[in-house]
Structure 1
Amino acid sequence: MSGLRVIKPGPQSVLQDGGRRGWQHLGVSPAGPLDGHAAAWANHLLNNAWGTPLLEIALGDVELQAEVDTWVAVCGAQMPLSVDDQPQPLWTRLPLRKGQHLRLGFARSGQRAYLAVAGGFCAEPVLGSVSVQLREGFGRALQVGDRLACRSAHFSHRASAPWPYLGHYSGTPLLRVITGGDAAEFAEDQLQRFFAQSWRLSPLSDRMGARLLGEPLQPPARQWSLGVARGAIQVPADGQPIILQADHQTMGGYPLLGWLHPLDQGRLAQCPAHHSLRFTPISISDAQAELREFYRFFRR
């Protein structure tokens, strides 16, 4: 099958879909896109179903050559996008003709962009998913000469995401947290310290976890391990919180302060190393209402 041939793969470009669900009891993390908002819009612009396989591009510097007439959309980080050296807009459905070269420069703002193609990329699923998870050996990053298989497609016109829904990645994001887990075991002044201070994102952060740097917290003791989910905020003995990302482990023994709002996980994933972060509490009912609205729109 023809598709998009990889001329330059970038620092780390990996296929992702809705995630590898239903295997955490065997120690397999779900993976999936780090920025679900940008990934959802890239697929939506092409009338693809929720979770259709697309390409997550970290930092940029990617070049692909089309071997088929199709349409694409790139959403997420501000990476200069061009087709045959002609600048093109992000967050927009674009035609890509056989023989043309699509290029993405290095990110100017944000960290990850999502390239979707009409109908999605075709790849052999493993445990029900094509999501690449490098730590556990599920797939690998793109290499020069790879082919991203896809089918030809046609639309009658371009389309763009409405401007209020575009990602904006500058400034200090205020990320919302659902307190819970072991939060009641933390001293009240420690919870206040978490929300009152400005944290920095550690350069040791990756797809497994976002590590925070700041005035250390004093976590309570924990005597057992339990299952953990994406967005869980662990506080190890050094007092520097870790927010679990898409490639998180499935069990953990560090005390849990709460969970990052699912719709703010993408904003966290777009922050570069040493970026400032602040947090504010949100009720679980408000978070659930927002998440239901998100899924109603993208899964209809």
Structure 2
Amino acid sequence: MSSALGFLIKQSGVLSLIQDQGRYGAFNIGLTNGGPMDLHAFHWANRLCENPLDTSAIEVSAGGLTLVAQLDTTIAVTGATMPLTINGQIKDLWRSHSIKAGDEIALGFANQGVRSYLAVADGFTVTSSFGSTATVCREGIGGLTGDKLQVNDILPCLSRTRKHNLVLNEKLWPEYNDEVILHTIPSYQQHYFSPYQQRLFFSSEYQVSKHFDRMGYRLTGKKIACDIDGVLSEGICYGAVQIPADGQPIVLMNDRQTIGGYPKIGAVSSIDAAKLGQLAQGGKVRFEPISMEQAHNFYHLSLSRFNRTILDVC
């Protein structure tokens, strides 16, 4: 057990992971990106703590995390609507809170969305692996030990108090719905799918199956036929939509394998892949085609709104 002070894990929750913005530049040695499933909420948690946006935080999937502070600091929780309590008192999400040594911070279970982000002022002081603290359990790297957080783990951080706290106006909070539209850039392999199959894909509704995790979301709905059974294994981008032999789409996410051989009908924009990461089993999905230029526009508009948003002081 570390002798450093920080937060003691009292209850580890369903799946709680240390994440920074992700691990890049290591595909050539078989290491995937990792990083937050909902990058937008992750960035907001850090901004509310006045951290650089890439600062290490905790991604809490489903809920059930309880921490005990060992020092004075500031935290913020964003993302899915998980009830937040500090010493048993209900507190608001999407704002920062002053924490004293001995305080108990608990996240209940999400009723909208799947993943929340808990950031602390100046971040958790975790040693990087291959240039990142992002935890990828399948690869056994990142975080404290390459695995999810466990009871009695200590997350080290610095004591840091602020003269004020920050809050994001409730009107600007994202809504986590059970239905999302995934704007999708058609793949260079789209010619392996007939015009009819492409229309079928973009006009059908799919549901999130029970097989969804940080590696990928398997969907159920209209089967999509492809003219070939597979392609030579090649690198796979974030948001790639694979069509395996059963015709049911798989959207590949942060912890995806680095190479694969299923045909790909397109790639979901990063903005919408983050929305998919907040869907649970039964969530409804529709795909809508967009151009690469439109995807870039969506991204930069979102980034501009984030940068122009002024936080309230409380």
Aligned to 1:67: 70
Distance in 1 (alpha carbons) for counterparts of 2:305 and 2:159 = 26
Aligned to 2:133: 130
Instruction: Report deviation, 1:83.
Output: 0.5
Is 2:192 the partner of 1:189? no
Aligned to 1:3: 6
Contact 1:50/1:299, CA 8 A, preserved across alignment? no
Distance in 1 (alpha carbons) for counterparts of 2:272 and 2:160 = 33
Which of 291, 295, 310 matches 1:287? 295
Secondary structure of the residue aligned to 1:121 is coil
Aligned to 1:27: 30
Instruction: Report deviation, 1:295.
Output: 4.5
Which of 136, 148, 162 matches 1:155? 162
Letter in 1 for 2:215: M
Distance in 1 (alpha carbons) for counterparts of 2:306 and 2:7 = 26
Secondary structure of the residue aligned to 1:78 is coil
Contact 2:20/2:134, CA 8 A, preserved across alignment? yes
Letter in 2 for 1:290: F
Instruction: Report deviation, 1:287.
Output: 1.1
Aligned to 2:256: 248
Instruction: Report deviation, 1:184.
Output: 2.5
Distance in 2 (alpha carbons) for counterparts of 1:201 and 1:167 = 20
Secondary structure of the residue aligned to 1:94 is strand
My pick for the range that moved more, 182-191 or 162-171, is 162-171
Q: What CA deviation, in whole Å up to 9, does each residue of 1:252-285 have, x standing for no partner? A: 1111111101011111011111211112112211
Distance in 2 (alpha carbons) for counterparts of 1:167 and 1:143 = 30
Aligned to 2:311: none
Distance in 2 (alpha carbons) for counterparts of 1:164 and 1:181 = 39
Aligned to 1:53: 56
Contact 1:44/1:298, CA 8 A, preserved across alignment? no
Give aligned pairs, total: 300
Matches within 5 A, 1:1-300: 1-138=4-141, 139-221=146-228, 222-295=230-303
Q: TM-score, normalised by structure 1?
A: 0.96
Secondary structure of the residue aligned to 1:173 is strand
Describe the shift of the 1:223–1:178 C-alpha distance in structure 2 as closer, same or farther (beyond 3 A): closer
Secondary structure of the residue aligned to 2:46 is helix
Give 5+ residue unaligned stretches, structure 2. 309-314
Contact 1:173/1:267, CA 8 A, preserved across alignment? yes
Give 5+ residue unaligned stretches, structure 1. none
Distance in 2 (alpha carbons) for counterparts of 1:66 and 1:120 = 14
Contact 1:73/1:115, CA 8 A, preserved across alignment? yes
Describe the shift of the 1:298–1:53 C-alpha distance in structure 2 as closer, same or farther (beyond 3 A): farther
My pick for the range that moved more, 162-171 or 56-65, is 162-171
My pick for the range that moved more, 15-24 or 154-163, is 154-163
Instruction: Report deviation, 1:294.
Output: 4.1
Q: TM-score, normalised by structure 2?
A: 0.92
Q: What CA deviation, in whole Å up to 9, does each residue of 1:168-217 have, x standing for no partner? A: 11241112111123113211111111111110101111111111101110
Letter in 1 for 2:239: G
Letter in 2 for 1:19: G
Distance in 2 (alpha carbons) for counterparts of 1:227 and 1:187 = 24
Q: What CA deviation, in whole Å up to 9, does each residue of 1:219-239 have, x standing for no partner? A: 231341211111011111110
